[in-house]
Structures are given as structure tokens and as C-alpha cells.
């Protein structure tokens, strides 16, 4: 399926899209620029990946859709989606999650638990939203993590990264079949 906005899908195209999404395939829903990130994530087993995009390219929207696709495809996957603050997580991710309700088939829609900052899928997969800032980073602790996606990494507190990555997140990934850190960013203003 060639790319076109999901808002322009005919009923037949929407049905085809729904079948692909049910298998965790979201490529057809991504713009050509967003597909670059999907290709990076799915074509390598490298532990650390970096993706640089211009502002307003749909990087965060595409990142969350890719996260949804991975969670649908792989049961019991734990993906941590990290932003620089809890406010960013709330103000940026929840509106995108609301938009994705129009893209994801109703039988695949996850349960969004805003109070817990989590998105739960019926197959046991979960997206946990978090923040790298010093006030909230300890909430990233846990027993298991398969993929970490750090959005806007150039805007995070660099002084706290060693603690976040090496003390909080890496130990959770020791027994993961994935074990990927994905860092995305846009140009820094400084």
C-alpha cells in the first residue's frame, strides 16, 4: 500500500489497513520520512540507534505509531517511551494517542491509563511513559524493559543521563530479546 493520509482512505483501503495493523504492520501509515525510523528500528539488532529529524516532520507521532505496531506484533513487549518531563509526556503523547484511535482497528485499540502513564495492549504488551528529569526519573525503575525510545533526546538533562541509562534502564534489558535504545531528536535551539 503506497502512502497516503489515513484520513483519505476509502472503506476498502481502511479494511486493508486494519488487516495490516492487526499483524503489527504500520509502515503504510507512515510518511516517507517516518519510514526511515521504522527501517532503522527493524533492520538492525544494534543496541543504540539515533534518528534526527526536522521540526514538524511527525517524528513523535510516527514514533508512537511504530511503538504501537511493535506492541501489537510482539506479545508481552515492554517499551518505555521517555520524554524530558512528565508535562511533555502528558501534553504531547496523550493527544497523539487520541489521534491513533482513528488509525488502529477497534479490536486492537489499547487501554490508555493516563493516571499510570501507561498504554496497555490486549496481548500483554505495554508502553510506559516516563521522564528523564531528576524529579521523575526513578519512576522508570522496573523489572523488565525490551525497548527504550527517548524522544527529543537533545532536550533532556544531560547531567542525569548516566543515572537514567546505566542505573535505571540497562539492568531491565539484560534478558530482553530486543534490548534497543532508540534516540530521536530535532535540532536543539541552543
* Kind of pairing between the strands at 118-120 and 126-131: antiparallel
pLDDT of residue 42: 80
pTM, entire model: 0.85
- Specify if 119 maps to a domain: yes
Give tens-digit pLDDT for 107-134: 999 999 999 999 999 999 999 988 766 6
- Specify if 11 maps to a domain: no
Q: Provide the domain count of the chain.
A: 1
* Kind of pairing between the strands at 126-131 and 78-83: parallel
- Specify if 166 maps to a domain: yes
Residue 53 vs residues 50, 63, 118, 151, 186: alpha-carbon distances, Å: 10, 11, 26, 11, 5
Asked if residues 111 and 120 have their Cβ atoms less than 8 Å apart, the reply is: yes
pLDDT of residue 110: 97
- Specify if 57 maps to a domain: yes
**pLDDT over 60 at 190, yes or no:** no
Q: Which three cell numbers stand for residue 83?
A: 520524554
Asked if residues 182 and 151 have their Cβ atoms less than 8 Å apart, the reply is: no
- Specify if 17 maps to a domain: no
Q: Which three cell numbers stand for residue 58?
A: 511527525
- Specify if 114 maps to a domain: yes
User: Residue 98: which CATH number?
Assistant: 3.40.50.300
Give tens-digit pLDDT for 52-75: 565 666 778 888 999 999 999 999
- Specify if 76 maps to a domain: yes
Asked if residues 139 and 129 have their Cβ atoms less than 8 Å apart, the reply is: no
- Specify if 32 maps to a domain: no
Domain that holds residue 114: 47-185
Residue 137 confidence class, pLDDT cut points 50, 70, 90: low
Average pLDDT over all residues of the chain: 82
The helix/strand/coil state of 17 is helix
Dihedral sign, Cα of residue 159, residue 162, residue 167, residue 170: positive
Asked if residues 183 and 48 have their Cβ atoms less than 8 Å apart, the reply is: yes
pLDDT of residue 148: 83
Residue 135 confidence class, pLDDT cut points 50, 70, 90: low
- Letter string b/e over residues 55-87, b meaning 16 or more CB atoms within 10 A of that residue's CB: eeeebbbbbbbbbbbbbbbbeebbbbbbbbbbe
**pLDDT over 60 at 156, yes or no:** no
Q: Which residue has the higher pLDDT, 162 or 61?
A: 61
Amino acid at each position: 500500500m503506497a502512502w497516503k493520509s489515513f484520513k483519505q482512505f476509502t472503506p476498502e483501503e481502511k479494511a486493508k489497513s486494519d488487516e495490516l495493523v492487526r499483524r503489527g504492520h504500520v509502515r503504510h501509515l507512515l510518511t516517507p520520512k517516518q519510514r526511515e525510523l521504522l527501517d532503522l528500528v527493524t533492520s538492525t539488532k544494534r543496541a543504540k540507534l539515533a534518528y534526527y529529524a526536522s521540526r514538524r516532520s511527525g517524528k513523535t507521532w510516527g514514533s508512537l505509531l511504530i511503538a504501537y505496531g511493535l506492541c501489537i506484533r510482539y506479545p508481552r513487549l515492554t517499551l518505555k517511551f521517555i520524554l524530558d518531563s512528565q508535562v511533555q509526556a502528558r501534553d504531547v503523547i496523550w493527544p497523539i494517542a487520541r489521534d491513533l484511535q482513528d488509525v488502529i482497528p477497534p479490536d486492537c485499540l489499547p487501554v490508555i491509563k493516563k493516571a499510570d502513564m501507561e498504554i496497555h495492549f490486549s496481548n500483554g504488551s505495554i508502553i510506559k511513559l516516563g521522564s528523564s528529569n531528576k524529579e521523575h526519573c526513578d519512576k522508570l525503575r522496573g523489572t523488565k524493559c525490551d525497548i527504550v525510545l527517548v524522544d527529543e533526546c537533545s532536550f533532556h538533562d544531560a547531567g542525569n543521563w548516566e543515572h537514567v541509562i546505566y542505573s535505571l534502564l540497562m539492568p531491565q534489558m539484560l534478558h530482553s530479546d530486543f534490548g534497543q535504545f532508540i534516540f530521536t531528536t530535532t535540532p536543539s535551539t541552543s
